[in-house]
Amino acid sequence: MDENKIIAERRAKLATLREQGHSYPNHFRRENSAADLQAQYGEMDKEALAEAEPVRVKVAGRMMLRRIMGKASFATLQDHTGRIQIYVTRDELPEGFYNGQFKKWDLGDIVGAEGYLFKTNTGELSIHVENIELITKSIRPLPDKFHGLQDQEVRYRQRYIDLIVNQESRETFLLRSKIVQHVRDFLIRKNFMEVETPMMHVIPGGATAKPFATHHNALDMPLFLRIAPELYLKRLVVGGFERVFEINRSFRNEGLSTRHNPEFTMVEFYAAYTDYHQLMDYTEELLKELAEMAIGSTTVPYQGQEFDFGKPFARLTMKQAIMQYNEGVTAEQLENFESAKALAESLNIKVDEGYGLGKILTEIFEETAEHRLMDPTFITEYPAEVSPLARRNDADPFITDRFELFIGGRELANGFNELNDAEDQAERFKAQVAAKDAGDDEAMHYDEDYITALEHGMPPTAGEGIGIDRLVMLFTDSASIRDVLLFPHMRQS
């Protein structure tokens, strides 16, 4: 990158500072944060503050604004909690410091200041500075102090600049942290135990998706970045950790979009001796808590729409949802292969060679109903054909005891009673391998060790995954997954 004039000038200032002994010092210990001061003294009126015992404070932060008025100046410092204004006068600093040092500093420099609190004529809480020093010199200029940084590409690629100047961005990631924390607290409150399982798998499993491949040099073997933690978490249930969860990254080798990043965060949790109805109840409870925490309301605004989290979440079977959004379609039509196939084709859905009735129904659902499910809605009775890891329904083996949760037309969670019949699971893996051999590169591998684990006996278990990124998008009203990832994946520039 070219050294432009602004950077050259700042480098020159830094060189002078070095000659004077500046060495990016680390001795300044702040004692107050901007937000604490605003909270504690922001409401006091000017006179009360002036008459009371002086409140001595010590703050540090990046200088974001400065207004020099001859022999006195105001500047705005920003720390990790917010902003506080400081008031600096020539005559209260050492001889020559105001003109020789302070006035030569730049916006973006990190400054430490000490003094006493007062309120300006316009009522802004400020620090009357008695000591001030430059802690860290910045040699690159900040974006426009008023407009901030608008360029999406730079916001993603140089997130640190975005975070310095765009408060909305800081708030999004602050809320993301709180959401993750709340999910973790919720599960711990429900007596789950947090675990970490491998991210590098010999056999990628637990989802139907293309994996990233890598290689272990010392062992000279291929490895795959995990596409889901599911099979390892269930091995833990076999091992006797009956309630476990993991919040971490999975990786899928697919295209990029406003809803997809190659690495994304899920929470997966598994509980023995429960079923998917219990998980739906947990999920509803958790999401209502999150709405209350994040929005402070049961009405969640998203991209100009509003989703109602206040009422009980709707629960529909997949067939009911199809009928609801396809006028005139009857239950009978959805019960046999030929009529379902005809319906799919009338909807311009491509029906591939290997599709069974279950896959066709799922395609019809995804094409016609999914994107219309605005308020939180659980869809149940997923066909076994599209649910290779889920337990079959006792009354109807065509379907599994499974649900997905949709909000704003998007899938947010997926849960089901786990298949703990090792022989059934082995058969389903074989079907997946057949599909893979037939050209479906997203189909699953046969995981022999997982079958062995199930053969030792896994108690009846229900498990669920919730997409954290999508959850954060929802509660921060973000249009793109990139807005909720600190460092989203970008093409090489």
Partner RNA sequence: GGGUCGUUAGCUCAGCCGGUAGAGCAGUUGGCUUUUAACCAAUUGGUCGAGCGUUCGAAUCGCUCACGACCCA
* Positions that interact with RNA (CB under 7 A): 2, 4-6, 9, 13, 65-72, 74, 76, 85, 87, 89-91, 104, 106-107, 118, 120-124, 126, 128, 141-154, 156, 255, 257-258, 479-480, 482, 490-493
Distance in Å, CB of 458 to RNA, minimum: 37
Count CB atoms within 10 A of the CB of residue 426: 16
Q: Are 228 and 269 in contact (CB under 8 A)?
A: no
Between the CA of residue 149 and those of 145, 162, 171, 465, 493, what are the distances in Å? Answer: 9, 6, 15, 35, 19
Which residue type sits at 31?
A: E
Q: Are 316 and 310 in contact (CB under 8 A)?
A: no
Element (H, E) at 346: helix 337-346
Nearer Cβ to RNA, position 267 or 407? 407
In angstroms, rounded to a whole number, what is the distance separating the alpha carbons of residues 199 and 433? 22
List the Cα angle 441/235/226 in 5-degree steps: 35
Distance in Å, CB of 239 to RNA, minimum: 40
Q: Are 112 and 37 in contact (CB under 8 A)?
A: no
Distance in Å, CB of 19 to RNA, minimum: 17
User: What long-range pairs does 87-95 form, CB within 8 A, spacing at least 24?
Assistant: 87/115, 87/118, 87/120, 87/126, 87/127, 87/128, 87/129, 88/113, 88/129, 88/132, 89/129, 92/129, 92/130, 93/129, 93/132
Count CB atoms within 10 A of the CB of residue 453: 21
Nearer Cβ to RNA, position 76 or 387? 76
Which residues, 6+ apart, have CB-to-CB distance to 374 below 8 Å?
A: 305, 307, 407, 408, 409
Nearer Cβ to RNA, position 128 or 182? 128
Distance in Å, CB of 113 to RNA, minimum: 15
Phi and psi (nearest 5°) for 126?
-145, 165
Nearer Cβ to RNA, position 5 or 311? 5
Distance in Å, CB of 46 to RNA, minimum: 8
Q: Which of 453, 467, 444, 470 is nearest to 268 (CA)?
A: 467
Instruction: Record the tokens describing residue 375, joined without a space.
Output: 């308020």
In angstroms, rounded to a whole number, what is the distance separating the alpha carbons of residues 267 and 230? 10
Distance in Å, CB of 232 to RNA, minimum: 30
Distance in Å, CB of 492 to RNA, minimum: 6
Nearer Cβ to RNA, position 165 or 444? 165
Nearer Cβ to RNA, position 85 or 324? 85
Distance in Å, CB of 226 to RNA, minimum: 23
Distance in Å, CB of 464 to RNA, minimum: 27
Nearer Cβ to RNA, position 51 or 91? 91
Nearer Cβ to RNA, position 271 or 473? 473
Distance in Å, CB of 337 to RNA, minimum: 23
| Radius of gyration, alpha carbons of the chain | 29
In angstroms, rounded to a whole number, what is the distance separating the alpha carbons of residues 261 and 482? 8
Nearer Cβ to RNA, position 123 or 301? 123
Distance in Å, CB of 1 to RNA, minimum: 9
Distance in Å, CB of 163 to RNA, minimum: 15
Nearer Cβ to RNA, position 401 or 483? 483
Distance in Å, CB of 5 to RNA, minimum: 5
Between the CA of residue 183 and those of 170, 285, 302, what are the distances in Å? Answer: 20, 11, 21
Nearer Cβ to RNA, position 103 or 216? 103
Fill in the DSSP letter of residue 309: -
Which residues, 6+ apart, have CB-to-CB distance to 384 below 8 Å?
A: 358, 390, 392, 397, 398, 399, 400
Strand locations in 28-124 (E): 56-69, 72-79, 82-89, 110-119
Instruction: Record the tokens describing residue 390, joined without a space.
Output: 């889920």
Nearer Cβ to RNA, position 126 or 265? 126
If you search the block for the tokens 């949802």, which residue do you land on? 321
Nearer Cβ to RNA, position 65 or 203? 65
